[in-house]
């Protein structure tokens, strides 16, 4: 993606270079700014939260090098201040020695002699005056230099103090930014979890492809279940017909036929109005009593 982006930027730059003479410099500057803005927008799109988090981690890591650089700067300034203070002190001591020599020269000149014996050497008055004037100018120059050095020393000491303050602030701020980075990492992790939850809630349980496949499986299952029910019903009917047509077979599972319920109204009428009993019809022949059968002879 970045390669494509930079390729597009290079292409835009090439078009700008080729068409400047044709379109005009003003329009080409507008096109150039538009291209820069487009590239910046594309980079912003690429720099999501993960990329920005990594950039922040890199910056926080670079703060360690920055703190070490400030520490080295403080050490160097401290050395410069110490060196300058030592040099100022040495110059002041040298000036003091020159002043004592000038006092001695002034005392000799006040004596008004023509020649002077100093440390086994003979010097004329002119030699003493010439040496005294040279030492006097040297002392004045050294004092002016010392004053300048002292002003520089004050500035460097102030700079050193400011560098120390900056170093301390950088150390404290580095620790604070480190804690802020941990907080941001935790918030980004929470953001990712929330986004995953939102996507899970917005997304159906299964994808469209899986839903289609599930629908096919459910349809096949229903068709198979219905077909199996029809086949079982046909088999039951065939078995029932076969068992009913078999002679001499007893159906032990057959339910007894329910008796027909009597006609209640007819039973009541017969009870309340019983039908008369018909008289026996007369006969023309006289009833002849039956003769008793002859007794059989007993063998006893």
132/171 same-domain check: yes
39/58 same-domain check: no
Among 182, 209, 236, where does a domain finish? 209
Residue 76's closest CA among 164, 6, 141?
164
pLDDT at residue number 75: 94
The CATH number linked to 133 is 1.10.287
Q: What is the pLDDT along the chain (300 residues), one digit of tens a residue?
A: 445 544 555 555 555 455 555 445 666 667 666 766 666 666 555 556 777 878 888 888 888 888 899 999 999 999 999 999 999 999 999 899 888 888 888 888 888 888 888 888 888 888 888 888 888 898 899 999 999 999 999 999 999 999 999 999 989 988 888 888 888 888 888 888 888 888 878 766 555 555 677 778 888 888 888 888 888 888 888 888 776 655 555 555 555 555 545 566 677 777 677 666 665 555 554 445 555 544 444 443
69/37 same-domain check: no
258 belongs to a structural domain: no
60/175 same-domain check: yes
Domain of 183? 49-209
54 belongs to a structural domain: yes
With the CA atoms of 209, 213, 218 and 221 taken in that order, what torsion angle do they form, in degrees rounded to the nearest 10? 180
Please answer whether residues 113 and 125 qualify as being in contact, where contact means their C-beta atoms are separated by less than 8 angstroms. Answer: yes
153 belongs to a structural domain: yes
193 belongs to a structural domain: yes
Residue 31's closest CA among 14, 43, 54, 44?
14
173/41 same-domain check: no
Residue 63's closest CA among 188, 186, 185, 172?
172
Domain total for the chain? 2
156/85 same-domain check: yes
293 belongs to a structural domain: no
Among 209, 235, 262, where does a domain finish? 209
250 belongs to a structural domain: no
24/140 same-domain check: no
34/74 same-domain check: no
35/72 same-domain check: no
255-275 CB burial, b ≥16 within 10 A, e <16: eeeeeeeeeeeeeeeeeeeee
146 belongs to a structural domain: yes
Query: Residue 107 has what DSSP assignment?
Result: H
Among 209, 225, 258, where does a domain finish? 209
29/96 same-domain check: no
Please answer whether residues 140 and 131 qualify as being in contact, where contact means their C-beta atoms are separated by less than 8 angstroms. Answer: no
26/71 same-domain check: no
193/154 same-domain check: yes
261 belongs to a structural domain: no
Please answer whether residues 134 and 126 qualify as being in contact, where contact means their C-beta atoms are separated by less than 8 angstroms. Answer: no
pLDDT at residue number 165: 93
């Amino acid at each position: 993606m970045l390669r494509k982006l930079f390729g597009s930027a290079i292409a835009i730059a090439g078009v700008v270079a080729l068409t400047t003479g044709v379109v005009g410099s003003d329009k080409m500057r507008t096109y150039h700014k538009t291209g820069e803005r487009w590239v910046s927008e594309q980079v912003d799109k690429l720099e999501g939260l993960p990329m920005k988090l990594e950039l922040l981690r890199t910056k926080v890591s670079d703060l360690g090098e920055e703190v070490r650089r400030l520490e080295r700067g403080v050490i160097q300034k401290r050395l410069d201040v110490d060196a300058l203070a030592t040099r100022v002190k040495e110059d002041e001591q040298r000036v003091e020695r020159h002043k004592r020599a000038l006092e001695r020269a002034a005392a000799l000149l006040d004596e008004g002699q023509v020649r002077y014996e100093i440390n086994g050497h003979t010097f004329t008055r002119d030699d003493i005056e010439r040496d005294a004037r040279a030492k006097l100018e040297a002392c004045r120059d050294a004092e002016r230099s010392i004053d300048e050095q002292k002003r520089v020393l004050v500035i460097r000491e102030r700079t050193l103090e400011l560098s120390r303050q900056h170093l301390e602030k950088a150390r404290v701020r580095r620790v604070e930014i480190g804690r802020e980075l941990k907080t941001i990492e935790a918030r980004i992790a929470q953001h990712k979890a929330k986004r995953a939850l939102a996507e899970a809630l917005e997304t159906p349980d299964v994808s469209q492809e899986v839903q289609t496949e599930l629908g096919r499986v459910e349809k096949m299952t229903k068709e198979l279940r219905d077909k199996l029910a029809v086949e079982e019903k046909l088999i039951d009917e065939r078995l029932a017909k076969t068992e009913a047509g078999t002679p001499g077979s007893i159906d032990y599972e057959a339910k007894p036929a329910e008796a027909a319920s009597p006609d209640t109204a007819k039973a009541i009428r017969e009870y309340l109005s019983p039908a008369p009993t018909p008289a026996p019809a007369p006969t023309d022949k006289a009833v002849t009593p039956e003769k008793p059968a002859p007794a059989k002879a007993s063998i006893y």
